[in-house]
Amino acid sequence: MKKILFITGTRADYGKIKSLIKRVDNSPLFEAFVYVSGMHLLEILGNTYKEVLKDGYKNIQIAFDQANTKIASYDLGNTICSLTGYVRKICPDMIVIHGDRIDALAGAVVGALNNIRVAHIEGGELSGTIDESIRHAISKFAHLHFVSNEDAKKRLIQLGESIDNIFTIGSPDIDLMLSSNLPSITDAKSRYEIPFDKYGILMYHPVTTEFNLIGENIKNVINAVIESKKNYIVIYPNNDLGYEIILEEYKRLNSETKFKIYPSLRFEHFLTLLKNSDFIMGNSSAGIREASIYGIPAIDIGNRQNGRYNTATSPNIQHCPDDFFEISEAIRNVEKYRIPSRVFGNGNSTELFYKILCDGKIWDTKLQKQFHELTWGMA
């Protein structure tokens, strides 16, 4: 059996690739390995590696040997060293990575430098932080690309990637979103002791390239949600530079009865809570991706998701700057934006991914990459 190594460094990317891992883990043709690192190992953010363990994969490596120094460049090097040791031990035939985090970049580097095919999930996309540079760098190391839509495919072609190695499968988490296997809203509220009938969801991450503005921006967000008098489920940020500033501001909510705050939520329960929410706000990709599938109004604040959507194809989204008055106005207008869309897939990504894995041609993909010139006709 061919060995396929999946790398997950955050609760977000795990939600994206979970269905893919399960499909491979249950296959008689492949052997799945899961390497768990990064944000999963931080106690303050919920020790979410435990959620991966609960899913019971046959081969799981928790990278407890990693350091989390909050210095991204150092942590990248540390992850490369740790992952290299594991890769040399199991000798995978393919490394599967997702998105734009340093754990994925480490996987791409380790794979490329050790002559292992690298498959990148959701390359070719845009964002408003250093993440975009990381995502494109990963694409240049990757040999195979599983993208969410045709726009992403076109960008990879612009980056010089071979059209023969780009496969449009949609966003894999949509498979779970549209399935009948999610917990009920009663179960989700009971698990997390949520007393609200109506509520919004707040997820706000640091924008690393605007570090000096994080304190002022999150203060404006918190002032606006308190002023709105609505109920909120608040989820901790990721571990990017500046997340402690956001957590410090969240302390203002501890005495507020209209707020329930969590380091993390299990992905399936988060989806149920999102599906039944009044709106989601902040700067998380969940407001761009998952909210659009359910038609949940989303308030996208600031620059973190720049370029990832347009209002024509994502009519559920309002964009506003990190300004108290504009955020407050957006909250008042949310109900006008309850409009579903299907820009990122139709819920069959897992089977499309698996079918491609079973096609012997991808295993003949050359390890030596070449830049493919963009012709005017393709532009």
Separation between Cα atoms, residue 360 and residue 358, nearest integer Å: 6
Q: Are residues 91 and 154 in the same domain?
A: yes
pLDDT at position 344 over 80: no
Is 261 a residue whose pLDDT tops 80? yes
Considering the domain architecture, whether residues 168 and 231 belong to the same structural domain is answered as no
Domain-embedded: residue 24: yes
Same domain, 157 and 24: yes
pLDDT for 50 beyond 90: yes
Split at pLDDT 50, 70, 90, the class of 378 is: low
Q: Is residue 67 part of a domain?
A: yes
Q: Is 237 helix (H, G, I), strand (E, B) or coil?
A: coil
**Are residues 329 and 202 part of one domain?**
yes
**Encoded tokens for 198:** 């109506």
The answer to whether 283 and 320 have CB atoms below 8 angstroms apart is no
In the predicted model, what is the mean pLDDT of residues 207-216? 94
Residue 346 has a pLDDT of 79
Helices in the chain by DSSP H: which ranges? 11-25, 49-54, 72-90, 102-113, 130-141, 150-158, 173-177, 185-191, 214-228, 243-250, 267-275, 290-294, 324-332, 349-358
- Is residue 376 situated within a structural domain? no
For 304-322, the DSSP string reads: TTTTS--TTT-TTEEEE-S
Q: Residue 301 maps to which CATH number?
A: 3.40.50.2000
What average pLDDT does range 47-74 have in this prediction?
93
Instruction: Please report whether residue 108 resides in a domain.
Output: yes
Inter-residue contact 156 to 147 (CB < 8 Å): yes
In this prediction, residue 376 has a pLDDT band, given cuts at 50, 70 and 90, of: low
Interatomic CA distance for residues 186 and 180, integer angstroms: 15
The residue-averaged pLDDT of 119-140 equals: 92
Domain identity same for 155 and 40: yes
In a domain, 222, yes or no: yes
Residues 127, 196 within the same domain: no
Separation of alpha carbons 303 and 225, rounded Å: 19
Do 244 and 312 fall into the same domain?
yes
Give the count of alpha carbons within 13 A of 96, CB side only.
Answer: 24
Closest CA to 277 of 290, 266, 264, 262: 290
Residues 110 and 75 in one domain: yes
Instruction: Write out the DSSP string of 314-351.
Output: -TTEEEE-S-HHHHHHHHHTGGGG-----SS--S-HHH
Average pLDDT over residues 209-224: 96
The 10s digit of each residue's pLDDT in 280-304 is: 999 999 998 899 999 999 999 999 9
Distance CA 59, CA 208 (A): 34
Predicted confidence band of residue 204 (pLDDT cuts 50, 70, 90): very high
Task: Check whether residue 171 and residue 192 sit in a common domain.
Answer: no
pLDDT digits (tens, 9 = 90+) for 237-259: 999 999 999 999 999 999 999 99
How far apart (Å, rounded) are the C-alpha atoms in residues 121 and 105?
A: 12
How does DSSP assign 67-129, residue by residue? ---S-HHHHHHHHHHHHHHHHHHH--SEEEEETTSHHHHHHHHHHHHTT-EEEEES-S---SS
Please report which confidence band the pLDDT of residue 260 belongs to, taking 50, 70 and 90 as the band edges: very high
Q: How far apart are CA 194 and CA 348, in angstroms?
A: 32
Residue 307 pLDDT class (50, 70, 90 cuts) = confident
Q: What is the pTM of this model?
A: 0.89
Number of domains in the chain: 2
- pLDDT bin (cut points 50, 70, 90) of residue 311 is confident
Specify the pLDDT at position 374: 82
In a domain, 379, yes or no: no
Reading across the β-sheet that carries 117-121, which strands appear in turn?
Answer: 60-62, 30-36, 2-8, 94-98, 117-121, 144-147, 166-168
Residues 222 and 167 in one domain: no
CA angle, 305 then 307 then 311, to 5°: 95
Span 106-122, average pLDDT:
98
> Do 258 and 359 have their domain in common?
no
Tell me whether residue 10 is in a domain: yes
Which range marks the domain in which residue 155 is found? 2-175+346-364
**Domain for residue 87, yes or no?**
yes
**Together in a domain, 65 and 201:** no
- The CA distance from 242 to 239, in Å, is 8
